[in-house]
């Protein structure tokens, strides 16, 4: 977070009564930015590049020098890349001036404070600015956790105060949350919204509650990831890899906490918990411990990870860095594979093994289903050839390795059998009883369940030590992640076998215990559920929330796009499993989700979910 600018450094204040003006809806021209840390410098650069006169204010001369140097460096890169001329660069640099006190903001049309995320500091700055700036000026706070309404009420112009929440890095991220309070005038909101659009940013209107949209969803997810790490359920590397590879996120949650600042995250969560009293927002103890120890993330050189230097981004090995091979036992030899099932996941898994050179027996409930699954597999490989990902020879070799089987008896000699049937505990247990009878002693039996207890499936056999979870993600040929789920009964060499196989399959294994949701779903679905609650509470629209998470969080899909793709019934089932296991009221499925499922609105597959879709 940015350094505070002390209001006490301001010159003698001038009293200016708040008054509405007809010019309020006109985008501001002169912009003052108070606090020239990373975010303040980024905002200043955006404004100067857009043609505004920018007044940068920071008590620390070093911060001002860094801000100027950063602008000089970025504009020099722009010239090198042909994005602007040397003359245009000179104009941009001339429009940015820095000062050490708040009095420099006197002529500004808009003042944006991005000082430290502490209420007393922001109040001191905002109230001092209120006495300095002209009557028509708008005051904006960059807070993402504190009450904008409370800050506005401290001024003599509450109708001209709002929140303006940029996302880091401000130059690159398209989203800006425009936070109006019950006191903000429509003209003020309109003027700032017009300004944001003129910057080629996407303004999303939000009300005043801690975290707004993006951080309101993001920080609950980050908090749960911290708690997962603290419980030693999975390593920091596996938690981060799971969310990057399983959900397509640009960063893992613990790495992101280090980037944001552990202390900042704790402050945001405290504010969210004070407003919601939701236990999912109560900061995980590890966040407070790291903050108290000064281990704040990148800015201090150490947080969840260790860094080459304070402020750096290069991670260096430390005591928690896993050794190569994870110290696991030697795995069992796997020369042939059986896949039980004929659906999309079973077909995809068979394709993955065949492309890696394993002979595969694909067994289904009937010869017809098995033949159809192999035909779909061949078509999938044909598409890969058409896209240049495989040669025709590689396609033919992979197809030749897959044999459709008329019954599960054909899996008897496989070294590994992967079950990929319906996500129903009774169905899976019945299948594993069959596998227990037909499979050879020592064969590894893997279930692809995403939410059911692996141990309950394992206990359906006489060899629970040979049973492991091998949770592929859909589509299996494309997704790199495999969650390797061990139970309290899983043998060490079985666990090691799956890790070694993932390397042969060019998949990334992450290790986790047998509890609801494993890593990915345990973190993903509470986030999706909270998004539904936002719509249910009429805080924001489906479109606004999706835009906020894609543009502000870098997510490949918004939560409602993802819910409609996954299926609302599937999502509800997973959320019910999570709630049943952890018994946390905050995990209870949102009633709106339950109502949509009851109405048969299940997402893309039914043509209607949170959005409507054209029937195929």
Catalytic site positions: 450, 471, 483, 521
Determine phi and psi for 390, rounding to 5 degrees: -135, 155
* Contact criterion met (CB below 8 Å) for 604 and 564: yes
Determine phi and psi for 176, rounding to 5 degrees: -135, 120
Helix (H, G, I), strand (E, B) or coil at 471: strand
Which class for 25: exposed (0-12), middle (13-18), buried (19 or more C-beta within 10 A)?
A: middle
Helix (H, G, I), strand (E, B) or coil at 36: coil
* Contact criterion met (CB below 8 Å) for 271 and 145: yes
Neighbour count for residue 156 (Cβ, 10 Å): 14
Question: For residues 410 and 421, what is the distance between their CA atoms, to the nearest angstrom?
Answer: 17
* Contact criterion met (CB below 8 Å) for 457 and 467: yes
Distances (CA, A) of 344 to 76, 348, 373, 476: 51, 6, 8, 9
Torsion sign over Cα 309, 315, 320, 323 = negative
Distances (CA, A) of 182 to 26, 189, 424, 589: 21, 11, 49, 30
- Judge if the upstream peptide bond of residue 505 is cis by omega within 30 degrees of 0: no
Residues near 325 by beta carbon (within 8 Å), at least 6 away in sequence: none
Helix (H, G, I), strand (E, B) or coil at 141: strand
Question: For residues 567 and 610, what is the distance between their CA atoms, to the nearest angstrom?
Answer: 10
* Contact criterion met (CB below 8 Å) for 509 and 495: no
* Contact criterion met (CB below 8 Å) for 480 and 452: no
Distances (CA, A) of 217 to 223, 355, 547: 10, 39, 13
Neighbour count for residue 357 (Cβ, 10 Å): 11
- Host H or E run for residue 511: strand 508-513
């Amino acid at each position: 977070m940015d350094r505070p600018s002390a209001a006490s450094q301001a010159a003698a204040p001038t009293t200016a009564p708040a008054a509405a003006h007809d010019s309020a809806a006109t985008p501001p021209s002169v912009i003052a930015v108070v606090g020239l840390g990373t975010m303040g410098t980024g905002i200043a650069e955006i404004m100067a590049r857009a043609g505004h006169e920018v007044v940068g204010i920071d008590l620390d001369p070093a911060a001002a020098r860094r801000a100027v140097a950063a602008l000089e460096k970025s504009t020099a890169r722009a010239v090198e890349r042909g994005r602007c001329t040397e003359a245009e660069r000179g104009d941009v640099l001339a429009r940015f001036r820095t000062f050490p006190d708040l009095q420099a903001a006197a002529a500004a049309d808009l003042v944006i404070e991005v000082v430290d995320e502490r209420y007393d500091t922001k109040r001191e700055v905002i109230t001092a600015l209120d006495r300095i700036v002209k009557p028509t000026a708008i005051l904006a706070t960059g807070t993402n956790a504190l009450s904008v309404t409370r800050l506005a009420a401290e001024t003599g112009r509450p109708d001209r105060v709002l929140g303006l929440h940029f996302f880091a890095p401000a130059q690159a991220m398209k989203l800006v949350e425009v936070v109006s309070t019950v006191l903000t005038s429509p003209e003020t909101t309109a003027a700032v919204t017009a300004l944001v659009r003129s910057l080629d940013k996407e303004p999303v209107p939000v009300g005043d509650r801690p975290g707004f949209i993006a951080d309101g969803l993001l920080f609950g997810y980050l908090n749960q990831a911290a708690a997962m790490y603290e419980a030693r359920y999975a390593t920091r590397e596996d938690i981060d890899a799971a969310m990057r590879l399983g959900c397509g996120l640009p960063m893992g949650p613990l790495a992101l906490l280090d980037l944001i600042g552990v202390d900042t995250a704790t402050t945001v969560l405290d504010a969210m918990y004070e407003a919601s009293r939701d236990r999912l927002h109560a900061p995980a103890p590890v966040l407070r411990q790291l903050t108290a120890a000064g281990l704040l993330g990148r800015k201090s050189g150490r947080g969840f990870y260790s860094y080459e230097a304070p402020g750096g981004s290069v991670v260096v090995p430390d005591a928690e860095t896993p050794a190569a091979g994870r110290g696991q036992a030697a795995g069992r030899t796997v020369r042939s594979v059986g896949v039980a099932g004929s659906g999309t996941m079973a077909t995809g898994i068979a394709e993955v093994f065949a492309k890696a050179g394993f002979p595969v027996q694909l067994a289904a409930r009937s010869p017809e289903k098995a033949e159809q699954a192999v035909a779909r597999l061949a078509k999938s490989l044909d598409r890969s050839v058409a896209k240049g990902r495989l040669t025709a020879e590689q396609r033919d070799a992979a197809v030749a390795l897959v044999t459709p089987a008329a019954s599960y008896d054909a899996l008897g000699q496989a070294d590994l059998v992967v079950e990929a049937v319906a996500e129903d505990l009774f169905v899976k247990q019945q299948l594993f009883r069959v596998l227990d009878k037909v499979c050879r002693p020592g064969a590894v039996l893997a279930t692809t369940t995403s939410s059911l207890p692996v141990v309950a499936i394992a206990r359906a056999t006489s060899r629970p030590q040979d049973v492991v979870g091998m949770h592929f993600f859909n589509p299996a040929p494309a997704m790199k992640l495999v969650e390797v789920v061990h139970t309290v009964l899983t043998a060490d060499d079985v666990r090691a076998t799956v890790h070694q196989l993932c390397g042969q399959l060019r998949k990334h294994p992450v290790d986790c215990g047998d509890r609801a949701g494993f890593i990915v779903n345990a973190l993903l679905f509470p986030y999706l559920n909270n998004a539904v609650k936002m719509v249910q509470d009429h805080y924001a629209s489906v479109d606004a929330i999706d835009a906020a998470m894609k543009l502000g969080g870098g997510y490949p899909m918004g939560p409602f796009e993802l819910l409609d793709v996954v299926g609302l019934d599937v999502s509800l089932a997973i959320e019910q499993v999570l709630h049943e296991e952890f018994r946390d009221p905050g995990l209870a499925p949102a009633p709106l989700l339950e109502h949509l499922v009851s109405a048969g609105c299940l997402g893309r597959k039914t043509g209607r979910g949170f959005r409507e879709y054209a029937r195929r």
